[in-house]
Amino acid sequence: MKYVAGLDGGGTKTKVVIADESGRMIETFTSGPINYNGQDDRVVESSIEEIVVRIGAVCGSLEHCVHICLGAAGISAAGVTERLTEAIRHAGYCGGLTLVGDHETALYGALNQPHGIILISGTGSICYGRNEQGASHRTGGYGHLIDDEGSGYSIGKQLLAALVQASDGRIPPTAISDRIYEKLQLSKGSLKEVIGFVYDQNRTKKDVAALAPVLSEACAIGDAAAMGISQRSADALFELIVPVAEYLDLQKGSLALAGSVLLDNTFIQTALRERLAERYPELSCALPKHDAAWGAMMMAWHHKSKGTE
């Protein structure tokens, strides 16, 4: 029996899906991070070794795993592909190997096919598409300092901005303020504590993105500032889709909406769907069928079935 494995490599964990030669999933597990851009080399290499050893155990031997596909964020950075390949080979795996961006595996998993469009809005935001002719196009995903509009980070930043603007009178009072204080467990009305949170040297973009659920809460009671953030976020995400749909001629194709912002915030998702229906009435819009690890497994199985082991 031959097997394939798909890996979704993130900054905090890696999900692995193993399937047999018929495409039937036989095992799934999670391990440590494998992102060289955000982790110590030894942590990444330890995670890879643990993953490879477990794949070998599940398959009976590493020789029985004929193809591994790894989808990871930041894989386009200089030298990352080479370092990941070297680490996987050093761990003892000699079979077929495909390394791609996690947006590619997310597309395959979400639509259960290699072509279409996926829009992802989590901590960051990115849109990626591929047509049946093999052409691909990507928009966004260039990081929170210069991009990631419509993302959890962008929303968190706008929520904090609304709090300070309401505090000094630039906008009317907003329900966002009390909810931010509660979320951060800070004294209500203590703007200095909020500023301390924002400019803490240990603060990360994920800390700011973690505030995004506050938007849904404030939108639920019709807060004007929150509704404005929701609409701006939907507009920004719509702008990511347009170039991909147009460049790849996928106006009548399939689009998957993924990531915590789109899956958890019904206000943003509804506003986005309305804009899409107006501009692209024949574009099918749905939630993901499977995750990126499943997509990586399907890509590995595809390579195996094509004989590119």
Q: pLDDT value at position 262?
A: 97
Residue 138 CA to residue 105 CA, distance in Å, equals 14
Pick the more confident residue, 23 or 131: 131
CB atoms within 10 A of CB 168: 8
- For the chain, give every domain's residue range: 3-112+290-305, 152-286
CATH fold label, 152-286: Nucleotidyltransferase; domain 5 (3.30.420)
Contact (CB, 8 A) for 116 and 129: yes
For residue 279 the two structure tokens come to 């501009």
Q: Are 257 and 286 in contact (CB under 8 A)?
A: yes
CB atoms within 10 A of CB 74: 16
pLDDT of residue 38: 65
Query: Count of alpha carbons within 13 Å of 217, Cβ hemisphere only?
Result: 14
Phi and psi torsions of 113, nearest 5° = -165, 160
Burial 237-260 (b: 16+ CB within 10 A, else e): bbebbbebbeebebeebbbbbbbb
**Model-level pTM?**
0.90
Say what the pLDDT of residue 10 is.
76
Region of poorest pLDDT, from 28-42, 143-157, 261-275: 28-42
Indicate the CATH number for domain 3-112+290-305. Answer: 3.30.420.40
Which pLDDT tens digit goes with each residue over 109-133? 999 999 999 999 999 999 999 999 9
* Residue whose C-alpha is closest to residue 123's, from 234, 271, 261: 261
* Residue 91 scores a pLDDT above 70: yes
CA pair distance 36, 10, nearest whole angstrom: 10
Do 3-112+290-305 and 152-286 agree at the fold level? yes
Assign 104 a pLDDT band (cuts: 50, 70, 90). very high
Which pLDDT belongs to residue 36?
76
What average pLDDT does this structure show over 153-164? 98
The pLDDT of residue 82 is above 60: yes
| The pLDDT value given to residue 304 | 73
Chain mean pLDDT for the chain: 94
Q: Give the pLDDT confidence score for residue 239 in this predicted structure.
A: 98
Tokens 């905090």 -> residue: 12
Residue-wise pLDDT tens digits, 206-260: 999 999 999 999 999 999 999 999 999 999 999 999 999 999 999 999 999 999 9
The mean per-residue pLDDT over the stretch 64-88 comes to: 90
Predicted pLDDT of residue 189: 87
